[in-house]
Amino acid sequence: MINTIPPAFIFIIGAILLPLLRERRLRRIFQLLIPVIAFIDLLYMPEGTYWIYNFLGYDLILGRVDKLSMCFGYVFVIMAFLGTVYALHVRDTGQHVAAFLYMGSTLGVTFAGDLFTLFAFWEIMAISSVFLIWHQRTVAALDSGFRYIMVHIFGGCALLAGIIIYVTNTGSIDFGLIEYGGLASKLILLGFIINAAVPPFHAWLADAYPEATVTGAVFLSAFTTKSAVYVLARSFPGVELLMWLGAIMAVYGVVYAIMENDIRRLLAYHIISQVGYMVCGVGIGTEMGLNGSAAHAFCHILYKALLFMGTGAVIHVTGRRKLTELQGRNLYEMMPICLSLYLIAGFSISGVPLFNGFISKTMVVAAAGEIHRVPIHLLLHLASIGTFFSTTLKLPYVTWFGRPHEGEKIEEIEAKEPPLNMLIAMGLTAFLCIFIGCYPRVLYDILPYSVHYHPYAPYHVAATMQLLLFTAAAFWLYIDQLGGHATISLDTDWFYRKPGKLLLWFCSHPLQNLRFGLQHLLSRTVATLASLSKNPILLPEIAIRYIHLRIISRLYHIFGLSEDKLEELKELESRYDAIRKITYDKDVYRRPIGFGVLLAVVLLFLYGLIYFFTLR
């Protein structure tokens, strides 16, 4: 199988064939078979370099297989299957096609062995993913999707510029370790960290993901940022800037998440926070740091998808997505299974022992402790407190339980458990979160380096439980003040939203008026030239009459325009218009052939004289 087709093309071919299947049951079976076939393909892929094609003197490599790419490849395909199960009830084939292209391009990035192949799949990933936002078909989704694609186009341009400079300087297109320092490496890093949603280039994520379709948000939460973590681990391990950016990112996302009222926007900010752990681990650059980043990316894809599945189920059933719209409606009585599965994801993201987040997050924190970076260590712990507080305590409490504001009139909501396929997908994902948390060796064995870390050492368990219990105690003390509040949090997207509106105004008013003015001027010029071309022989006479007319007109306006002069001016204008309208008549304007011959002889004689004197 290794010599037949790269894993990326299994999904891409599936996306092409999917619209051709009209029978719904057959289409569902086909959708589930594609990730299964891709997973089997991965199992039979030995380490090495495959699918090499020479193009313009460069080797394009579609299959670079090692432990790092396989770790991400496994979880991407697993998530593709779980997300497909969750989306089986969706009748819109366009969403499934976009999702398959998105999954396939992510695998293309994961196994790319050269920079050109990486860039091609990188752009397909951006273009296909935006349709998961636009398929929501609301004004907010269209606007946020447009901003999303513009940011990613900017990141893609930075990446392409860096690749071109890098290839020009080195002569190599191999995708591997890139020495950080020059312009090329900085542009490539900029392209990568934009997709990783590193502040201040992060606002596209919190802006776009909440506006996506219910199922589209699940796929979005899994692929773009984690593929960016993969390329950072591949090309920039040990860059200290990433360590600090990641730690700040972890706290930044948590602070904004605590302030949020929209449940999916809250979770979107937690993607930023959790990816901060991974970016920090890459920046630490040690074997434990890189293992922690890969492990946390693997676990994060699962529990973050489960979080979005749970909130998506609430939105699917109730049509509401704000905490202020959900609190006090007693959803726990109508959706207990959904609540239970969501809490498993909440315990996982918070790093509770026996859940998968614990066995990966603590590895990154321990890696920071190993190199004695106390500020980094403290920032990561602080982010853990905020994560537990907002995702595992505040969001489920206010959404499923909650208390209405005093004097608020409660509107009854008719709710029930979501469709069976959504519950099955959530159940499978929850099982993996618990299974990996209880048996971490399953994950540790596929990490890039040998793992000598023991997450269930008494110190790690005790330290984690202390943080969680004190956070839970603080939540209980302030529980009455934790209801949702209808507020808007300003973020860095303000800096391109406002100038963007100013640019649109400039394009639609001053620039539009300038365009109309130039168009009118050019149209008159073209019309005049077309009129003059009717009789080129009279062109000198027309020009003289035009200049005479303008001079007389200007003088009359300066020194006064009497009745006689007005009549004279009108007569001049009529003569000018009349001569302009005269068309060429060969019987009137044709010259004898000898005239042309004579003119040619004179010109040749003059040219000869000039040439002769030039030689002298």
Domain boundaries, the chain: 1-236, 238-485
Q: 1 or 298, which is more confident?
A: 298
pLDDT at 463 over 90: no
**Which has more pLDDT, 230 or 372?**
230
Report how many helices (DSSP H) and strands (DSSP E) the chain contains, helices first.
27, 2
The mean-pLDDT minimum among 138-142, 258-262, 577-581 falls in 577-581
**What's at 453, amino acid-wise?**
Y
pLDDT value of position 1: 41
Return the minimum-mean-pLDDT range out of 35-44, 206-215, 238-247, 553-562.
553-562
332 close to 404: Cβ distance less than 8 angstroms? no
Q: Burial, 207: exposed, middle or buried (Cβ in 10 Å; 0-12, 13-18, 19+)?
A: buried
The strand pairing partners of 322, in sequence order, are 262
Model confidence band, residue 610 (pLDDT cutoffs 50, 70, 90): confident
482-491: average pLDDT:
69
CA nearest to 329, candidates 514, 130, 529, 484: 484
pLDDT at 375: 92
C-alpha triplet 472, 475, 477: angle, nearest 5°: 115
Who wins on pLDDT, 484 or 432? 432
- The one-letter code for the residue type at 432 is L
User: DSSP letter string over 20-48?
Assistant: G--SHHHHHHHHHHHHHHHHHHHHT--SE
**Partners of 52 in beta bridges:** 61
Rounded to an integer, the average pLDDT of 438-460 is 92
Helix, strand, or coil here: 193?
helix
Cβ atoms < 10 Å from Cβ of 374: 9
| Residue 27 vs residue 552, higher pLDDT | 27
CA distance 252 to 246: 10
For residue 364, which of 515, 194, 243, 219 has the smallest C-alpha distance?
A: 243
Using the structure block, give the residue that is written with the tokens 């400039």: 506
Contact 75, 297 (CB under 8 A): yes
By C-alpha distance, which of 313, 384, 312, 306 is closest to 342? 306
The pLDDT value recorded for residue 553 is 74
Report pTM. 0.83
Closest-CA residue to 401 (of 476, 472, 323, 455)? 323
Range in 157-161, 432-436, 527-531, 534-538 the model is least confident about:
534-538
Tokens of 498: 């406002």
- Work out the mean pLDDT of the chain and round it to a whole number: 88
What percent of the chain is predicted at pLDDT more than 70? 89
Lowest mean pLDDT among 416-420, 427-431, 440-444, 536-540: 536-540
- Does position 537 have pLDDT exceeding 70, yes or no? no
Dihedrals phi, psi of 49, to nearest 5 degrees: -120, 125
Q: Could you read off the pLDDT of 542-598 as tens digits, one per residue?
A: 677 667 677 777 776 666 666 666 677 677 777 667 666 666 566 655 667 777 788
The mean per-residue pLDDT over the stretch 324-333 comes to: 83
